[in-house]
Structure 1
Amino acid sequence: MNTNSAASGPSAPSAASSRALAGIPVPDSRLAREAAELVRDLTDDLIYHHSHRVYLFGAHHGLRHNLTFDPELLYVGALFHDLGLTEKFRTSQQRFELDGADEARAFLIAHGIPEDRARLVWEGIALHTTPEIPHHMAPEVALVTAGVELDVLGIGYATLPPETREAVVAAHPRPDFKRDILRAFHAGLAHRPQTTFGNVKADVLDRFEADYTRPNFVQIIEDSPWPA
């Protein structure tokens, strides 16, 4: 991760607006509570607990690397990052990352968060399936990806203290998570296969859709209308 990212807020919430899990501050402001309630209403246990683990793992990573970040913005980014996979967006034809990003930005703007701050959350969600690039952006962007990479891919698993991992998973369980998250990805993407082009999620449809043909970038260039 690029630890030279520009500072963007306090490194931890005040005691009056936070609680803690495994020593990781968790925002407990009105905005944070309303974000959690919205996500609880729209998601099942799988996505709800996964999204909280993404926040906790991302925040832990940020604190361990002495990054300065706004916990509320990271919290909203983590909680909203997979909303595009839910029933609400089953007819959407844009990338599922954009569904969650748009929803988060609208939520933050409605709560009086300035556009430039809301944009950080939008970027964190929109880019969370794009390898490497988010880690060179603002911490609120980078840490969503760090949390996702740890919870889904296991990147950084060995560097996470076992007691921290156990406390987070006790609070936000992950029974049969590997299988269930793949099913959720499939359900959220099957109706819009074109949006997986150039994205790691193409692997999901390649595994679960018998008639899926992965777009080929080289072939697209060769078949373009240009004569040469």
Structure 2
Amino acid sequence: MSNIIAGVRIPDSAMAKAATQFVRDVEDDLLYNHSRRVFLWGALAGERRGLTYDAELLYIGAMFHDVGLTKTHSSPDLRFEVDGANAARDFLQAYDVPERDVEDVWTSIALHTTPGIPAHMRSTVALVTAGVEMDVLGIDFHAFSPEHRQQVCACHPREANFKEGIIEHFAEGIAHKPETTFGNVKADVLALKDPDGFRRQNFCSIILGSAWPISA
């Protein structure tokens, strides 16, 4: 595999290589290739936007962003994004990465399914989400050249039906803790995949049904 894809150099430090192996050991091909593409889209978006970013931190954020969907790193009660962020934090702390950088990677993973906020934060946070949004939702699809799209997908192919496949992975990773989907986009996943068993919580109903008296 080339270390340069679509003009983007894949980080190859000892830490980056260890991160690659870490993710390869727990994710299947669909999630692994998706995570690599997220890094590449994020890096290309950063270059297009003229952002200064740390490629190694962006790489760690991209590679770990879906680790929380795996059985190895899924907690019983935390959002999968937080599980992935915690795994990345533990990994980075073992390499004595400065705490601010660890926080940026943690936040980039924790917020990658929260649209509208990461774009206003530091580059690692903004670009992990940009990469995810391109690969999963096709946001800014036409801002990436056809050549870059072809080169990225030639090295890290999308599954024959990646759209359905990624939704299945989301559902499998969160089905055991549906309460963690409250207030975030993953509620849509369970509403699609478990229409008979899943009941979406309603923010206003929670307010009106709380233990607080009507007037206090």
TM-score (norm 2): 0.95
> Paired residue for 1:199, among 172, 184, 195?
184
Query: Do structure 1's residue 107 and structure 2's residue 91 form an aligned pair?
Result: yes
Which position in structure 2 is the counterpart of 1:215? 201
Q: After superposition, what is the alpha-carbon deviation per residue over 1:100-155, rounded to whole angstroms, capped at 9, x for unaligned?
A: 00010111110110111111000000000001100000000000000000000000
Check the 8 A contact 2:73/2:87 in 1, yes or no. no
CA distance in 1, matches of 2:202, 2:96: 43
CA distance in 2, matches of 1:149, 1:92: 26
Which position in structure 2 is the counterpart of 1:131? 115
Task: Return the offset for 1:89.
Answer: 3.3
Query: Do structure 1's residue 32 and structure 2's residue 16 form an aligned pair?
Result: yes
CA distance in 2, matches of 1:163, 1:51: 20
- Secondary structure class of the residue paired with 1:93: coil
Query: Do structure 1's residue 51 and structure 2's residue 30 form an aligned pair?
Result: no
CA distance in 2, matches of 1:227, 1:196: 27
CA distance in 2, matches of 1:108, 1:123: 13
CA distance in 2, matches of 1:220, 1:156: 36
- Secondary structure class of the residue paired with 2:9: strand
Task: Return the offset for 1:90.
Answer: 4.5
Check the 8 A contact 1:73/1:121 in 2, yes or no. yes
- Runs ≥4 residues deviating over 6 A: none
Letter in 2 for 1:110: A
Task: Return the offset for 1:92.
Answer: 2.6
Runs of at least 5 residues in structure 2 that lack an aligned partner in the other structure? none
Check the 8 A contact 1:24/1:59 in 2, yes or no. yes
CA distance in 2, matches of 1:90, 1:120: 21
Which position in structure 2 is the counterpart of 1:88? 72
- Secondary structure class of the residue paired with 1:27: coil
Task: Return the offset for 1:91.
Answer: 4.8
Query: Do structure 1's residue 163 and structure 2's residue 127 form an aligned pair?
Result: no
- Secondary structure class of the residue paired with 1:129: coil
The percent of aligned pairs where both chains have the same amino acid is 54
CA distance in 2, matches of 1:98, 1:31: 21
Check the 8 A contact 2:37/2:135 in 1, yes or no. yes
Query: Do structure 1's residue 183 and structure 2's residue 161 form an aligned pair?
Result: no
- Secondary structure class of the residue paired with 2:77: coil
Letter in 2 for 1:87: K
CA distance in 2, matches of 1:36, 1:73: 13
Task: Return the offset for 1:157.
Answer: 0.5
CA distance in 2, matches of 1:226, 1:92: 29
Letter in 2 for 1:214: R
Runs of at least 5 residues in structure 1 that lack an aligned partner in the other structure? 1-17
Which position in structure 2 is the counterpart of 1:15? none
Letter in 2 for 1:192: K
Query: Do structure 1's residue 70 and structure 2's residue 60 form an aligned pair?
Result: no
CA distance in 2, matches of 1:22, 1:220: 48
Check the 8 A contact 1:90/1:191 in 2, yes or no. no
Check the 8 A contact 1:74/1:143 in 2, yes or no. yes
Task: Return the offset for 1:19.
Answer: 3.3
Pairs aligned (count): 211
